[in-house]
Amino acid sequence: MPFPYTLPTTSTISYPAYFDSPLYPTLPLATSSHRGSLRNALKAHKRLSTAAAQAANIPFIIKQLESYLAHLLALYDTLTAGDAFFKDGARRLNTSWRAVLSARRVAAKEPPRIARPGLSYEIFWGISTLGYAYTLFARSQLRSVLAPTQGGEGSSSSSSGDAAAAAANSLNQATANLFTSASIFQHLLTRPLPPHASSWPPDLSLQVLSALSSLSLSAATLSAVTKQDPYPSYLALIAIESKQGGGKNKRGGGNEQKSKEWLYNPPAAPSGVRALLIARLCVAASDHAAKALGLLSTAEKSDAGKISEELLRYADSLRRVSRAKACRFLGIDAEAAGRVGEGISWIRGAKTILYASGSSSSSASAVGSLLRRKDEVWGADAGKLDEEKTLDALEARWEKLNDSVMFQKCPDVQELMGRIPTGRELHQTIKSWEPPKLDVGELRALRAAGNPGAEVVVEEEDSEEDTAAVGVDDGGDYAGRGGYY
């Protein structure tokens, strides 16, 4: 499950006060106009009261970001080409963005707004925000399949088939969006950095950006695995049935019947070569998450700043959940082949991985708290709680079978752990992300001396809380053409 990032908000800026372009006279104003629209959209998104409303608003945010980035990158290119210049006597350009990953101060309601100079700082924030948005888009698509809020529909075979097709489409789109997110963060690692980039917040450090790319790759791989995993759909049915009072009312009866059918006649789980392939995909997802955790832990110890504990815990949980899933699929294959004792040991090994190093599931208060807040923090545990439920159900079912019919010895868990296969990537190469660009017609319009199509956007006023930007230290003076890099 992707991490529930919070989209940042930003300060106001007027590019015509800093830049002139003889070749594209209206480009600075058009860029400011699109930035104002984006800023208003991000602030409005933040005020949306429900997670569902925010999820529905993400495509609009992505559209606003891509439109602004096309103009911002065009402005940057004209500056580097010498077709625009920094105005004489203008103040040094500073922009501020509210942190996403930096640990907030004690008792602070909001993470800090951190200001730094230069256009590169603005570009990195804009592109990274697009990466967060694509991750949140994928998260909403996965949640519609794995944690639906409505039920009781689709009792006929045709509607059930439509629902299955819709779920598969959502999973495909979520996987694609997570790969896009990974390639966006990867793109930032290839962009040129100004000399003062070492003073940027940890959100934009190369270590953290690389970690974010790895987290998206891990989540994308698990999203693809979910299509082959029959257990998440069962957990979703049980969750709906529980919310509707156990199917005692008319609306919930259909879900109760479907959950009982699933319990006694579950869909065929992958076995043989297919199960081994899925297990290797899970190992690859775990490796990506482990890499991300290592990078985040290194960044945490650097001078750039502290990383939020929530993200560090998520990376660790994602690493554990992915590897536990690999063991579960190996156990499913063993049980399907008649080796029930080995299957039980695989499940026990998965539970050991899931709660190793003091991460015990026996903490009833912690689990209870997570269950009470599950709707708000869905995905923040990387699916750890749902994986535990699946493992518990399989272990109980197989132990009952073994104790009454098979009577097989359960192999040593540590011996099985040495047989976990190596990882296999879902795609050997990730398609490079292409930044949005202005088309020929838009560039031609920007050459006009007037202001066609560049409306002046009235930006919302900063609240008292917003104006108290933290971290305005710009890292000192630096050399550069006009100070815009």
Sign of the Cα pseudo-torsion (236, 242, 247, 249, in order): negative
Highest mean pLDDT among 38-42, 378-382, 452-456: 38-42
Boundaries of every domain in the chain = 9-148+168-243+256-358+378-418
pLDDT given at position 472: 44
| Confidence check: pLDDT of 431 > 70 | yes
Closest CA to 37 of 61, 8, 72: 61
First to last CA, the chain: 36
Quickly state the pLDDT bin for 359 (edges 50, 70, 90).
very low
The predicted pLDDT at position 144 comes to 87
φ/ψ of residue 278, rounded to 5:
-65, -40
SS3 237: helix
Least reliable range by pLDDT among 138-147, 225-234, 333-342, 346-355:
225-234
Q: Which pLDDT band, with edges at 50, 70 and 90, does 77 fall under?
A: very high
* Structure tokens, 110: 């909001």
Return the percentage of the chain with pLDDT > 90, whole number. Answer: 60
- Between 235 and 60, name the one with better pLDDT: 60
Question: What global pTM score does this model have?
Answer: 0.87
Q: Which two tokens stand for residue 86?
A: 């920094």
Q: Write the single-letter amino acid at 360.
A: S
In terms of C-beta density within 10 A (0-12 exposed, 13-18 middle, 19 or more buried), how is residue 476 classed? exposed
pLDDT of residue 162: 78
Across the chain, what does the average pLDDT equal? 83
* Three-state SS annotation for 115-181: EEECHHHHHHHHHHHHHHHHHHHHHHHHHHHHCCCCCCCCCCHHHHHHHHHHHHHHHHHHHHHHHHH
pLDDT, tens digit, 9 for 90 and up, residues 278-327: 999 999 999 999 999 999 998 877 655 688 899 999 999 999 999 999 99
Q: Which residues pair with 95 in a beta bridge?
A: 116
pLDDT of 53 over the 80 cut: yes
pLDDT of residue 163: 74
Helix-, strand-, coil-residue percentages of the chain, each rounded to 5: 60, 5, 35
Specify the DSSP class assigned to residue 271: -
Higher per-residue confidence, 168 vs 57: 57
Positive or negative torsion for Cα 243, 244, 247, 248:
positive
CA–CA distance from 388 to each of 183, 292, 359, 367, 382 (Å)?
31, 23, 12, 11, 12
pLDDT band of residue 457 (cuts 50, 70, 90) is low
Answer for the pair 152, 252: CB distance below 8 angstroms, yes or no: yes
Q: Provide the 8-state DSSP code for 437.
A: -
Q: Which residue has the higher pLDDT, 477 or 204?
A: 204
Domain 9-148+168-243+256-358+378-418 bears CATH identifier 1.25.40.280: yes
pLDDT at 253: 54
Q: Which amino acid is at 387?
A: E
